[in-house]
Amino acid sequence: PKDLVLKETTCGRDFEVPADGFYQVNPEVGEELVKAVVDEYQKGAKDAPDVLDLYCGVGVFGLCCNPPKLTGIESGRQAIDFAKRNAAAQKREAKFFSEQVGRNLNRIPIGPRTTVIVDPPRGGMEPNVPKWLAASKAPRIFYVSCDPATLMRDLRTIVRGYDVESVRWFNMFPRTARFETLVVLKRK
């Protein structure tokens, strides 16, 4: 059924997800990944409290970080509707926009007090996004990826403006060659 809604819990927060929508398939490792992002965010939250969550899906990373200002962008309109529902249910102020991240970069708020989280689909970011991020003033970028090839392609550009601070690997898909990666980047 198209209108079936799943209830998921991550980091003690409840999230509604459309049955045909995206959510990590491995709840234990998914929780570990989200906690790793939240921990990294908290380390630098004093200097970069605002969160820009690109390819945000239903809002999990951004909402779990619990920032004072959250902006999420995702091309899937249904995912954005659920991100808004999740923010309202958690009584969080947040702005979520349904559009392709690479379409209107000049309209996306990113500054020296912004922590950026990116979790693009397997195909990685649109070609103009890594260059835009490399030139941004954000102190830190957290890149979550399920595809090492597109991750490396995008990182080659982003590292013009950022240093890789850490790389963590998450065995999201046991007994397969696939995994999730969290790369923490710090402004040079």
Say how far apart CA 146 and CA 173 lie, in whole Å. Answer: 10
Contact yes or no for 129/101 (Cβ under 8 A): yes
Instruction: Answer for the pair 136, 160: CB distance below 8 angstroms, yes or no.
Output: no
CA 85 centroid distance within chain: 18
CA 64 vs CA 16, 42, 79, 126, 164: distances in Å: 14, 11, 16, 25, 23
* Order of strands across the sheet that contains 50-54: 95-98, 70-74, 50-54, 114-118, 140-145, 180-187, 162-170
Could you confirm whether 146 is annotated as catalytic? yes
Q: Which of 56, 64, 65, 146 is catalytic?
A: 146
Q: Which residues are catalytic?
A: 146
